[in-house]
Structure 1
């Protein structure tokens, strides 16, 4: 892809509700439609939409581990707080606004 080309029109790229760290702003995530629009536009570039359905507690354990292992947070308690306050807000937003999937993959505890 050339530098000048973009998946999203320039006006949409400016309107994306991103925080300085690159994640969705909490207010944009809760608002729904503003945070969702760039992803809904991306569907035109997909052959299929898959959804990986993972048990919430399995997902929580994975997220906590992924925050502690690389040093994103200092300990398990901080990781659990981060996942509860931010990680699941994003997950709930995705589940609440996702388009129908052609395939649903059931996640399992030790793999996909």
Structure 2
């Protein structure tokens, strides 16, 4: 009895999931305005993707870099983004600054 109940419950669950995903694909009034299929190999397409560079957000101790193939790469239909622990020169460093974006000459994460 328990096995039959679990089988019925599983079937209902998958039907509900199927209905939601099928409905999400074709919402009335929705129009796709942008996409990237990543059907190439190399750095992301610069006409579609950009980079935030430097200490950008939330007083983080990490440094965002521009177009380093060790950190961002496209292949096999996927965009891969990798954070790396390394020392990286802060291009915006200002000696004596108290601003978190400029006060450290070296960032430890990229």
Same fold (TM over 0.5): no
Q: Normalization by structure 1: what TM-score? A: 0.22
Q: Which has the higher contact order (CA 8 A, sep 6+)?
A: 1
Which of the pair has more CA radius of gyration? 2
* Larger fraction in strand: 2
* Larger fraction in helix: 1
